[in-house]
Amino acid sequence: MQATNPVIVATPTIRRRVFSMLYEFFLLLSVQVLAVALYLLVTLNSQHPVAEHGRNLFVLLVTGAYFIYCWTNSGHTLAMKTWRIKVVKLGYARLPYKTAALRFLFAWGWFLPALLVCWAFGLRGKQVAFAVMAGIAAWALTAFLDKDRQFLHDRLAGTRLIALPKVVRK
């Protein structure tokens, strides 16, 4: 009987994941600008408060669709591919839709607590920026508490990020 050696998959460094997230921010910004433009075109640039809430919901849904589509089809977004990072779930060839949706919801932990604090205490301007940065830093520190160096949203969703090898071109 042959012993099978488990494949050891490297976890990308936290630095690499943070740079991927920064790159993702700029790519996602363009997706969201297109979503807002489409929404304004469809609603004829309505300034009604309900239309503004609808716009925010539409942008949230488009953002979720972008991430869920990318994660379930290829395992990475364009930024993750650039930084050779892939999201996987043990035992699955592709990330299931339910798992991708959970990961998206749990990833709001990067921002939502700080935004709720800002809303509850009526913070504005630089205070909001500071609160969000503090929330992001706190969430990033969760990777140091995890034995596999995974962020909290990956642990909660049952996913993990793996480092892909460099492509050797001949």
In the chain, where the domains are located: 14-163
Does residue 7 carry a pLDDT above 70?
no
Structure token digits, residue 169: 């071109």
Q: What is the pLDDT of residues 64-95, one digit of tens each?
A: 999 999 999 999 999 999 999 999 999 999 99
Structure token digits, residue 166: 């460099």
DSSP states of 76-132 as a string? S-HHHHHTTEEEE-TT-SS--HHHHHHHHHHHGGGTHHHHHHHHHHT--THHHHHHH
Residues sharing a CB contact under 8 Å with residue 141, sequence separation 6 or more, in sequence order? none
Q: What is the pLDDT of residues 109-120, one digit of tens each?
A: 999 999 999 999
Query: Is the model more confident about 37 or about 47?
Result: 37
Rounded to whole angstroms, the Cα distance separating 40 from 102 reads 29
According to the model, what pLDDT value does residue 169 have? 84
Does residue 4 carry a pLDDT above 60?
no
Which helix or strand (DSSP H or E) is residue 169 part of?
none
Rounded to whole angstroms, the Cα distance separating 37 from 95 reads 30
Rounded to whole angstroms, the Cα distance separating 150 from 48 reads 42
Q: What is the pTM of this model?
A: 0.89
Q: What percent of the chain has pLDDT over 70?
A: 95
Q: What is the mean pLDDT of the chain?
A: 93
According to the model, what pLDDT value does residue 170 have? 78
Structure token digits, residue 40: 């304004």
According to the model, what pLDDT value does residue 77 have? 98
According to the model, what pLDDT value does residue 168 have? 83
| pLDDT band (50, 70, 90) for residue 167 | confident
Residues sharing a CB contact under 8 Å with residue 109, sequence separation 6 or more, in sequence order? 139, 152, 153
CA atoms within 13 A on the CB side of 108: 13
Does residue 6 carry a pLDDT above 90?
no
Does residue 2 carry a pLDDT above 70?
no
Residues sharing a CB contact under 8 Å with residue 28, sequence separation 6 or more, in sequence order? 63, 66
